[in-house]
Amino acid sequence: MNAAYIVLALPLAGALLLVFGGKRLGDPLAGWLATILSFGSFAAVLVTWLTLLGDNAAGNGRLIEKNIFTWLPVAGLHVNFALRIDPLSMTMALFVTGVGSLIHLYSIGYMRGDRDYPRFFFLLNLFLASMIVLVMANSYLFSFVGWEGVGFCSYGLVGFWFDRESAAVAAKKAFVTNRVGDFGFMVALFLMFNHFGSFNYSTVLGTASSGLLGGHATLNGTFATGLGLMIFLGAAGKSAQIPLYMWLPDAMEGPTPVSALIHAATMVTAGVYLVARSAPILHFSHSSQWVIACIGAATMFFAATIACAQNDIKRVLAYSTLSQLGYMFMAEGAGDYTSGLYHMINHAFFKALLFLGAGSVIHALHDEQDMKKMGALRKYLPITFPTFIIGYLALSGIPPFDGFWSKDDILASAYHMNFFLWLAGAVTAGLTAYYMSRQVALVWFGKARWSEARGDSAHAAVGNDPAAEGSTVAPGGTGTEEAAHAPHEGAHGEHSGRPHESPPVMTLPLIILAVLSTIGWLINANFGGFNHLEKFLEPVFPTAIAPAIHVATNTKWVLGIITTALAFIGLFAGLRTWRKVEVPALEPAFLAHGWYIDEALAATVSGPIESGADAMAYELDARGVDGAVNGVASLITGTGRQLRRVQTGYVRNYALGLAGGLAVILAYVAARVGGA
Amino acid sequence: MSTLSFPILTVAIFLPLLGAAVVVLLPQGRASLVRPVGLAFAVAELAVAGTIVAEFKAHDAGFQFVSQHAWLGQFGIGWKVGVDGISLFLVAMTAVLFPVAMYGPKLVGDAKSFMGWMLLLEAALIGTFLAMDLFLFFVLFEVTLVPGYFLIAGWGGFRRNYAAMKFFIYTFAGSAFLFVGILALVFLVAPLNGGRETFDLITLARYASHLPTSDQELIFAAMAVAFAVKMPVVPFHTWMPDAYTEAPTAGSMILAGLLFKLGTYGILRFGVYLLPKAAIDLAPVLLTLGAVGIVYGCIVAAVQKDLKRLVAYGSVADVGFIVLGVFAFTSQGISGSVFEMVNHGLTTGALFFLVGMLLDRRGTLRISELGGIQKSAPILAGVFIVVVMAAVGLPGLNGFVGEFLVLVGTFITHRWWAVVGTSGVILSAVYLLWAYQRVFQGRATGANEHVIDMTWREKAAIAPLIVGIVFLGVYPKPLLDRVTPAVSNLVAHVQYADPGFHIPSKGVGTVYAVPADQNVNGGQQTPTGVQTAAVTPGTGGTP
Amino acid sequence: MTVPGAWYLVLAAILFGIGATGLLVRRNVLIMFMCVELMLNAVSLTFVTFARMLNDIGGQASVFFILVVAAAEVVVGLGIIVAIFRRRPEATADDLHMLKG
């Protein structure tokens, strides 16, 4: 069990080594160090997991806490940092470190030649450590430490190419939007401490579920709703749900491995994890479950419509991620946590695969991200192409790939909760298949539009010395992905205009993820006793907390067939429309602009806020408050200035004053004497 | 009580004073000796402070190392100094920040008088934190103004005279209220104390709660005004951006990092401790000012055009947190406030240092003229972002611990104030990250393309602050272990003074501790190790 | 025959009045200075008169103080006046208003 410490220690040590010695290690070595430590962490998780499985006989509900140290020892508020090893944290840790390690490996090739290579891997390792803290913490507070840690790493990595204004703005936007969610998380922490006197999962959830197991309510419904909604606000920030979704598409400014790791596979699912963790609390609040389900469903549908009209290869995937996260929240709102988590794992596989594949394409086309300038790439990227197709089918929900199974489960649970939730999910499944088909058709099939689009720059590259080009890392204002990123001269010797397959360090993760996406149904397919995940997670979600959802087998079949049919319809519609030689322009501006929400906010909200703040600083503060202070000062000097006039400097005036004063005194004395 | 046989606290006060005298008396021809000698005294002071921290008994709630000498005895005034958990780390931080400020920033102008003023200021500050006699406190409290004035006026920026004068007069006007308050307290307590006037803190605390409530409230209000100006709390803050902005780098570090702790420390040590009943009665006013200050400071900071002013306004928000925690009257809140005072010293000290480096390199701090500096100065940018994140309250760095404790403590007694305060976590991220983005990120043009990165001297000077920021964030236990007993004692004192004031028991009394490395049965957790916040209810202080 | 005490007092009052009027109306610094002396002497005369009338030596003692003060005043005052006239021979009291606020 002590392997649990190693899980956390390795990436943390990597981050420390890289921050101080990263420069010395240099280009490939820093990456290899980070990757090896990351794989070591994955191995340690495996060991811990196997030990946990073996520990079953002990009958302790599969829960082990490994203490680290006492963090806060204030009277009445005693917080221990410990690692919590239970099925849920292990499930998370396994795929986080697993997928994380693969993406580390991929990055070695992808980031080759970047000026800030060591910084990238420092942040990547720090991210992994924070993510491990997030999922393996024993308390909400310790999870919050990891929660903010991943937020910081995301900030650093989205703004990795900091000399691009857009990247810097996107990084800030991501952090600030997350902070809005964190506000909710923090208020949830306060409520929790106020009510339970602790942040520990064991205490908080134990107190909540003790009543459930005993058949009486331990939490007041209103309190549970408040707490649940605050937790969900935190989760919505991190997992980019409505209304805090806007940072995620912009976060695509980061390098592609970052998008794969943070903004698809792991960090954005932290909200899903948090909500799953809080299942015993949510059980007491039907209304917050409804809110979660509805917001999930809304995000799911909304993001899918936008994804249909994006031209940037990564933005399509980003909106797709939003949409898939919506599915997960819908499942959790419906009380089917296992399916939500199952979909999260599958999504990590296929979405990481798609992002990495997209990265490979971008790499091959020398930092081109516009899908309209791609096409017919299948001949040039013989490894990326088939793996991408597997990811595409998995995301589109085509059996037998893994996305089908988890989506099917989710939709059955949604149907059980409400017909319209199911309907939205089914329609979204069709939309998903459509926009992914559009992407596949534009990138891999059709006519090669890249040769004329990239012709001149490709020619320029032929004549130039690669090293010289590598040193000119001028940022491109056009928004293309890697303008600030030196060409990968180490990875491919000759610079021709021809797209080229990526080096093995980049294709190997693709192959592994493709295999995982294909056999993902082994984890929790709902037939033939394959429901391993469900059985494994049983201690975390006992039926008292998450009642089993019974949907008749016949209904399930019907639902499954309808959804799959919709997916196929979307698939063929997409492929037929977009495989043409002449690319049609079928992107409604309304969708391409994301329902104009960003623009509307910018127009209506930012303006007044900015001028309000300006007024506060320069009118209220400088003129009002400071004006009052300086006003007192000038009142005093003004009075002095007036009084100064008395001081004429003429002796006779002073003498007259003297005489006058004397006369007054005499008169007074005389009056007193006379009066007496 | 003290394990040391000699009066170490008195030494701690006089050592910098001696240093100031030595520096000033150095012969004119040996100008090169001025900085090493001054620094040597500051480092020696650090060693003394280190000894105090090392010898301090962690779980003793009272004053330690108390030393008392006759001084103006006929007026009830004595030289009485002592240190407890609340002041311990303020002293330590003072001792850390001074060598950094004297060594790190580039110094232009007359080094001799600069070092002299700095050491005098250090002596006065240490003395203020240690004083257990109200008269001694007041004298030293006022003495800090003099070096403060000369540091701003002598080495400051373009509008230094205006800023120095405003700083002096504004805070001095506040002090008038403090003086009246102290005298009123002393003379009103005298009849209760057998007709003898005394300025002794402990004696005053014993009798002050027997005064009529209205008297207590008036005295407290007078003190609160003085301390509120010093802190500064909105709306008494406007001297502060001017003073911090115009002061030289070292001056800003000390002014922001330490000088205004006098206000927060003063209100805690003298306001709340002496007059708990009045503090409870007037708490809503101060809590509101604190909560407003958090939001207001952040918003006004966001739109500042000068980086140094931006940092200065950020301090207004930090003060808001400290005030919030103090007037929550919970162990968590007050411990958090004390922690936050130390944090703020480290973080703001480091921020002003970094801003000073930018000023040295670029000659301007107008945000619109800066940009893209991360490219040419990556280490400077890296250190800057660490400090910014500490200020934003990122867990793992010190800022979070203080903010979190304050808010958790406030939430127990004053829920909605805490919620308003929590919005500070969003707003602080907005203004600091926006500033970071505009200054360090984006494309560098002109002079921003060739900014020299941190020099070795600067790295060495800022290292202690960064180590402190990270250490206190990761492992705050050593500090909290020493702060908490004194704070619990204070809370008990407050509760004793006003039995009507009740802290909700949930979350305060019970500790649910998970024993280390133990298999826990599926969430069936029982409360263990019940501990209560209350130490013996009493008038606190020394045994 | 003895002169009644009241006559001395009247004389003193007249002298004081002349001095005070002179001080107020004249511009010449030297004359103003003499007027001050006149007023001082008038006061001295009053003191002496009362000492005699009330048979109290205290009044005469006071006069000694006044004489000393007057002497000192003459020394300082004349010094100042001489210094002024050296620089500006035509100066009147109204020209010397450097103390204007």
Q: How many angstroms separate the CA of residue B185 from the nearest CA in chain A?
A: 29
Q: How many angstroms separate the CA of residue B510 from the nearest CA in chain A?
A: 6
Lookup: tokens for B135: 């008269």
Q: At what angle do helices B307-326 and B398-413 cross, to 10 degrees?
A: 40
Contacts of A75 (CB under 8 A, 6+ apart): B331, B332, B335, B484, B487, B488, B508, B531, B532, B533
Cβ burial A459-487 (10 Å sphere, 16+ → b, else e):
eebeeeebeebbeebebeeeebbbbbbbb
Asked if A362 and A313 touch (Cβ cutoff 8 Å), the reply is: yes
Asked if A109 and B519 touch (Cβ cutoff 8 Å), the reply is: no
B76-93 mean pLDDT? 91
Q: Which residue of C has its CA nearest to A640?
A: C101
Query: HEC profile for C52-95?
Result: HHHCCHHHHHHHHHHHHHHHHHHHHHHHHHHHHHHHCCCCCHHH
User: Rg for chain C (alpha carbons), in Å?
Assistant: 17
Q: Which residue of A has its CA nearest to B302?
A: A613
- CA angle A576–A579–A581, rounded 5-degree value: 130
User: Rg for chain A (alpha carbons), in Å?
Assistant: 32
Select from A648, A652, A656 the Cβ nearest to the Cβ of C100.
Answer: A648
Lookup: tokens for A336: 């089917």
CA distances (Å), origin B75, targets B78, B135, B191, B205, B451: 9, 10, 14, 18, 59
CB contact under 8 A, B484 and A616: no
User: Rg for chain B (alpha carbons), in Å?
Assistant: 23
Residues in A closer than 8 angstroms to B337, CB to CB, are none
Q: How many angstroms separate the CA of residue C64 from the nearest CA in chain A?
A: 24
Q: How many angstroms separate the CA of residue B14 from the nearest CA in chain A?
A: 34
Q: Is some CB atom of chain B closer than 8 A to the CB atom of A363?
A: no
In whole angstroms, give the CA distance from residue A39 to residue A130.
16
CB contact under 8 A, A652 and C94: yes
The answer to whether residue C23 scores a pLDDT higher than 90 is no
Asked if B364 and B372 touch (Cβ cutoff 8 Å), the reply is: no
Cβ burial A377-403 (10 Å sphere, 16+ → b, else e):
bbebbebbbebbebbbbbbbbbeebbb
Cβ burial B226-257 (10 Å sphere, 16+ → b, else e):
bbbbbbbbbbbbbbbbbbbbbbbbbbbbbbbb
User: What would the DSSP string read from start to end of A492-553?
Assistant: -S---SS--PPPHHHHHHHHHHHHHHHHTHHHH-SSTT-BHHHHHHTTTS-TTTSPPP---H
CB contact under 8 A, B484 and A163: no
What's the pLDDT score for residue B504?
A: 56
Q: Is some CB atom of chain B closer than 8 A to the CB atom of A619?
A: no
The answer to whether residue B514 scores a pLDDT higher than 50 is no
CB contact under 8 A, A183 and B426: yes
Burial class (CB in 10 A: 0-12, 13-18, 19+), A331: buried
* Residue that the structure tokens 């975390």 belong to: A540
Contacts of A516 (CB under 8 A, 6+ apart): A349, A402
CATH 1.10.600.10 fits C27-92, yes or no: no
Q: Is some CB atom of chain C closer than 8 A to the CB atom of A646?
A: yes
User: What would the DSSP string read from start to end of B62-125?
Assistant: S-EEEEEEESSGGGT-EEEEEE-HHHHHHHHHHHHHHHHHHHSS---S-HHHHHHHHHHHHHHH
Q: Which residue of B has its CA nearest to A209?
A: B523
* Residue that the structure tokens 């302790």 belong to: A60
Phi, psi of A646 (to 5 degrees): -60, -30
Asked if A69 and A80 touch (Cβ cutoff 8 Å), the reply is: yes
From the list B196, B209, B184, the residue with the least C-alpha distance to B499 is B209
What's the pLDDT score for residue A213?
A: 61
The answer to whether residue C15 scores a pLDDT higher than 50 is yes
Q: How far is CA A250 from the centre of its chain?
A: 11
Give me the numbers of helices (H) and strands (E) for chain B, helices first please: 23, 2
Phi, psi of B72 (to 5 degrees): 50, 50
Select from A69, A176, A610 the Cβ nearest to the Cβ of B433.
Answer: A176
Residues in C closer than 8 angstroms to A650, CB to CB, are 93-94, 97
B274-295 mean pLDDT? 90
From the list A186, A449, A566, C83, the residue with the least C-alpha distance to B423 is A186
CB contact under 8 A, B303 and A613: yes
Lookup: tokens for A620: 């209220």
Q: Is some CB atom of chain A closer than 8 A to the CB atom of C35?
A: no
**Mean pLDDT of residues grouped by 10 in chain A (676 residues)?**
85 90 83 92 91 68 82 83 89 90 91 87 93 92 92 92 89 91 93 87 81 66 88 92 88 90 89 91 88 93 89 90 92 89 91 91 84 82 89 88 87 88 91 90 81 46 37 37 41 56 87 89 74 80 77 84 89 82 74 80 79 83 85 89 84 83 92 76
pLDDT per residue over B111-133, tens digit each? 888 999 999 999 999 999 999 99
In whole angstroms, give the CA distance from residue B486 to residue A502.
63
Average pLDDT of chain B to the nearest whole number: 85
Q: Which residue of A has its CA nearest to C99?
A: A649
Residues in C closer than 8 angstroms to A659, CB to CB, are 20, 24
In whole angstroms, give the CA distance from residue A106 to residue A362.
14
What is residue B538's three-state secondary structure?
coil
Q: Is some CB atom of chain C closer than 8 A to the CB atom of A650?
A: yes
ipTM of this predicted structure: 0.87
Residue to mutate among A642, A651, A654, A658, with most C CBs inside 10 A, is A651
Q: Which residue of C has its CA nearest to A662?
A: C20
From the list B49, B8, B92, B56, the residue with the least C-alpha distance to B485 is B56
In whole angstroms, give the CA distance from residue A188 to residue A172.
24
The answer to whether residue C16 scores a pLDDT higher than 90 is yes
Size (chain B), residues: 543
What's the pLDDT score for residue A35?
A: 92
Residues in B closer than 8 angstroms to A147, CB to CB, are 395
pLDDT per residue over B171-217, tens digit each? 888 899 999 999 999 999 988 888 888 898 888 888 888 888 899 99
Burial class (CB in 10 A: 0-12, 13-18, 19+), B543: exposed
The answer to whether residue B95 scores a pLDDT higher than 90 is yes
B497-502 mean pLDDT? 69
CB contact under 8 A, C20 and A659: yes
User: What would the DSSP string read from start to end of A599-668?
Assistant: HHHIIIIIHHHHHHHHIIIIIIIIIIIHHHHHHHHHHHHHHHHHHHTT----HHHHHHHHHHHHHHHHHH
In whole angstroms, give the CA distance from residue C50 to residue A564.
130
Give the pTM.
Answer: 0.85
From the list A289, A303, A295, A300, the residue with the least C-alpha distance to A249 is A303
What's the pLDDT score for residue B1?
A: 45
> Containing H/E element for B356?
helix B331-362
Cis preceding-peptide flag for A400 (omega within 30 of 0): yes
The answer to whether residue B534 scores a pLDDT higher than 60 is no
What's the pLDDT score for residue A571?
A: 87
Residues in A closer than 8 angstroms to B374, CB to CB, are 162-163
Size (chain C), residues: 101
In whole angstroms, give the CA distance from residue A174 to residue A197.
32
Q: Is some CB atom of chain A closer than 8 A to the CB atom of C1?
A: no
In chain C, where the domains are located = 27-92
Q: Which residue of C has its CA nearest to A643?
A: C101
Q: Is some CB atom of chain C closer than 8 A to the CB atom of A550?
A: no
In whole angstroms, give the CA distance from residue B260 to residue B166.
15
Contacts of B8 (CB under 8 A, 6+ apart): B2, B48, B51, B52, B55, B65
The beta strands (E) that lie in B206-249 are given as: none
Place B42 in a pLDDT band, splitting at 50, 70 and 90: very high
